[in-house]
Chains A and B, each alone.
Chain A
């Protein structure tokens, strides 16, 4: 592989682009493949197969050829509302996974660069913050403030945009009240029922790192269903 290609791949990864690296393992030549873009002439006849691999999120050798396809998918967006204590532990776990992570918290003393170095922090109310982040059905929301003033608008945005995972911190009582508010706001029972609350897989622990671990487990479980 050429140094230039390596640098090109890294910049594409940083830009969260979706692409594939195609390598002819009998000649050693490789190039970047992007959907709907011109393909190198030597590989033109494989474009359907390459698209199939990308669409199926798979890597592999095209049958009866020497063409290896290595796909790079856009990471799943994970939006955490609340730059709280649990969030610090949660980041320790999920930063090792291929997620694009954002933290939203209007309280600047919580959402400081010092507390959360090298993370996208949006120091705004969720409604304003979501104007800056493109979200869709492959986005996850983890609401951790358990303050309706902050969490509720984020939950509503996530429900409207059909996020694949919506988790909200809070006791059963807190969640009952939350459900009531969402019901009054016109959300269907089915939609409200899709919120994972109390958040996380039941591990039995109550400390911040244990809750963070249980949220991580649930997030990964739901991500693997995509």
Chain B
């Protein structure tokens, strides 16, 4: 059963927007190896560093929140990021499970 879990992330994003928050939406668009969350998994981040949802079950969320804050600060519409365990320079926390994911960040505006 696909879509077995409906975390209501988009609904939450809409509530944040109505409360005048700036919101970045992160979606997992590609995975390799044993990455913990499926393609389509979502997380939202607002300008106050509050977040909801998950894209890796905790492995890379901290770094992704920073990326989202930067996206909001620079007022950029979107950004694609590949997270690889081997790329230690770019990410101080990798996917402990050995997987790789590509994520897509976009501002909702």
Contacts and interface: CB of A to CB of B under 8 A. Distances in A.
Q: Bin chain B's interface residue count.
A: 20 to 34
* A interface, over-half SS: mixed
B65 interface: no
B1 A70 contact: no
Contacts of A48: none
- Give the interface centre of B13, B30, B78, B80 by most chain A CB atoms within 10 Å: B78
A70 B40 contact: yes
Contacts of B6: 13, 75, 97-98
A73 interface: yes
A10 B1 contact: no
Interface residues of A, number: 30
B17 interface: yes
B38 A59 contact: yes
B77 interface: yes
Given A6-B108, A9-B10, A60-B30, A97 B5 contact: yes
- Give the interface centre of B2, B11, B17, B77 by most chain A CB atoms within 10 Å: B2
Nearest to B24: A1
Contact of A224 (B1, B10, B30, B104): B1
Interface of B: 1-6, 10-11, 13-14, 17, 25, 27, 29-30, 38-40, 77-78, 80, 104, 106-109
Interface of A: 1-3, 6-7, 9-10, 13, 23, 25, 28, 57-61, 68, 70-73, 75-76, 96-98, 220, 223-224, 226
22 contacts: A1-B25, A1-B106, A1-B107, A1-B108, A6-B13, A23-B104, A25-B29, A25-B104, A28-B77, A59-B38, A59-B40, A60-B39, A68-B27, A68-B29, A71-B2, A71-B40, A72-B3, A73-B2, A97-B5, A97-B6, A98-B4, A226-B1
